[in-house]
Chains A and B, each alone.
Chain A
Amino acid sequence: MKTRLKELRARERLNQTELAKRAKVSRQTISLIEREEYVPSLLIAKRLSRIFEEPIEEIFIFEEEEL
């Protein structure tokens, strides 16, 4: 899974800590997701989708064979 989280965070001029607070998670979780080491739950994906006003599939991009 690829993610555009870092790019979107830069667009909104948010640091990891600020985004983490808004998404009600720890900064560590945001960092893990950005490094593509962790696939977040649907709940966190939805929160991030709301923050960036982007659909989930525009933030998290799956390869065809992953689906």
Chain B
Amino acid sequence: MKRILRILMYLVLGFFTGLVISMLASRNDEIDMAGIYQVTGVVLLLIAVILIFVSVYLHRQLNTVSKDYTKYMDMDSYDVYRYNKFNDIQVVDTLMMILALVSVGIFVILESHFLLTLIAVIAFLVTLWLTITHTGLVGRLYPDRKLPKPGDKKYAEKLLAASDEGERHIMLNGLYKTHGLIQVGLMIGIILMIFYSLLTGESQIFSIIVAGVLLILAQLKYSMEIREK
């Protein structure tokens, strides 16, 4: 999984490095942002399609092992394996869905070729279907546990109730770090959007406001939850 993510990171870094070098090499004062977005959309769509195959492969791998894990490993190793593999599938699903959605957004906004937009929409629908299908995996992997379904009312409360103290400890650590990362990430995002607007002349004011509102809402929600009653 780490290898896949590393390759993806190199792909994205390589793409943007190439883009910057080609922009510098062309020495053109007028930056063709629409062209850059178009290429970005195609690259993101390609990565999303690759991830669809990765997701299906991981799912099949997990299915094969979970049918009779004793052929492959002992009980403890299997518990670690199914937990980590399911986690990997969720990461890949989230990545491919977001990338496909962003590419749809780019093609629709740029009014790109109909076929390209259609492929992106189909890719997005496939990622959505795969993500929904994969959520049902939990029930099959942990048949002895009463875990809530993602569509359930009060999902968070039910999940916490179904988890024991060690699992809650891991979730708390993960969520707290994620909360911090989102706060810093959105702040950096706002600063980047301000600079982007100034450099390109393309107003990002709406996005800056949305990011600001999300930042405030996340902090308010967290403060309300931990407030002493």
A residues bordering B, Cβ < 8 Å? 15-18, 24-33, 38, 40-41, 44
Is B157 interfacial (CB-CB < 8 Å)?
A: no
| Of listed B75, B76, B166, B167, residue having the most chain A CB within 10 A | B166
The answer to whether B167 touches A28 (Cβ under 8 A) is yes
Q: Report how far A16 CA is from B79 CA in the complex, Å.
A: 10
- CB-nearest residue of chain B to A25: B164
B79 touches A38 (CB 8 A): no
**B74 and chain A: residue at smallest CB distance:** A15
Docked complex Cα distance between A2 and B104 (Å): 54
Output the nearest chain B residue to A19 by Cβ-Cβ distance. B76
Identity of the chain A residue whose Cβ is nearest the Cβ of B169 in the assembled complex? A38
Is B169's CB under 8 angstroms from A17's CB?
no
Question: Given A15-B74, A16-B76, A18-B75 in contact, is the A32-B169 Cβ separation under 8 Å?
Answer: yes
Tell whether, in the assembled complex, residue A32 and residue B170 are in contact, meaning their CB atoms are under 8 Å apart.
yes
Contact A27–B165 (Cβ < 8 Å): no
Number of interface residues, chain B, beta carbon within 8 A? 12
A12 to chain B: closest CB distance in Å? 15
Complex contact A15–B165 (CB within 8 A) = no
**Which residues of the partner chain B approach A24 to less than 8 Å between Cβ atoms?**
164
CB atoms of A26 and B166 under 8 A apart: yes
With A15-B76, A25-B164, A29-B166 already in contact, 9 other A-B pairs whose C-beta atoms are closer than 8 Å: A15-B74, A17-B75, A18-B75, A25-B166, A27-B79, A29-B165, A30-B166, A32-B169, A44-B165
* Chain A residues, CB < 8 A from B167: 26, 28-29
Asked if A38 contacts B166 (CB within 8 A), the reply is: yes
A residues in contact with B74, CB < 8 Å: 15
B164 contacts across to A, CB distance below 8 A: 24-26, 29
Q: Is the CB of A41 within 8 A of B76?
A: no
B16 at interface, CB cutoff 8 A: no
* Complex: A32 Cα to B163 Cα, angstroms: 14
* Interchain CA distance A25-B75 in the complex, whole Å: 15
B10 within 8 A of partner (CB): no
Contact partners of A16 in chain B: CB under 8 A? 76, 79
Which residue of chain B has its CB nearest to the CB of A32?
B166
Asked whether any CB of chain A lies closer than 8 Å to the CB of B195, the reply is no
Determine how close the nearest CB of chain A comes to the CB of B202; give it in whole angstroms: 47
A-B contact pairs, 8 of them (CB 8 A): A16-B76, A17-B75, A17-B76, A17-B79, A25-B164, A25-B166, A38-B169, A41-B165
Q: Check B75–A28 contact: CB distance below 8 A.
A: no
CB-CB < 8 A to A38: which residues of B?
165-166, 169
Which residues of the other chain, A, contact B76 by a CB distance below 8 angstroms?
15-17, 27
Please give the distance in Å from B83's CB to the nearest CB on chain A.
7
Contacts of B170 in A (CB 8 A): 28, 32
